């Protein structure tokens, strides 16, 4: 996803907002992540663990497993909803996650 589009959406996000993230599908081989998307998934999992975003525990576990394995279990795993915390590092989000995102929206 274009960084400028992510920037426009993310700069509007405020504490308590929910963001629907859809990660890129991968390399073209069914279920295999490319390096950029895999890194973004790992950044999401680690950022959530550090309190930079809020994820449901089951979503965190899924993203962690996908990040470590490099494979989507199924297409639905590419979508996750996260909650924006009080102290949201928008620069981190834009720089680390946007390269691996297919889309992001405030829901």
Q: Kindly indicate the confidence band of residue 72, based on its pLDDT and cuts at 50, 70 and 90.
A: confident
Each residue of 6-29: pLDDT tens digit? 899 999 999 999 999 999 887 666
Each residue of 33-52: pLDDT tens digit? 889 999 999 999 999 999 99
Segments making up each domain of the chain, as ranges: 3-106
Q: Model-level pTM?
A: 0.89
Rounded-to-integer distance, Cα 20 and Cα 31, Å: 20
């Amino acid at each position: 996803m274009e960084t400028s589009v992510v920037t426009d959406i993310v700069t509007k996000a405020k504490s308590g907002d929910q963001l629907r993230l859809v990660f890129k599908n991968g390399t073209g081989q069914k279920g295999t992540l490319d390096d950029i998307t895999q890194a973004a998934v790992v950044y999401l999992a680690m950022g959530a663990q550090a309190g930079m975003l809020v994820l449901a525990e089951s979503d965190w576990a899924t993203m962690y497993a996908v990040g470590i394995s490099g494979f989507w279990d199924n297409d639905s795993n590419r979508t996750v909803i996260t909650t924006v915390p009080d102290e949201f590092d928008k620069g981190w989000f834009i720089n680390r996650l946007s390269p691996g995102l297919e889309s992001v929206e405030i829901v």
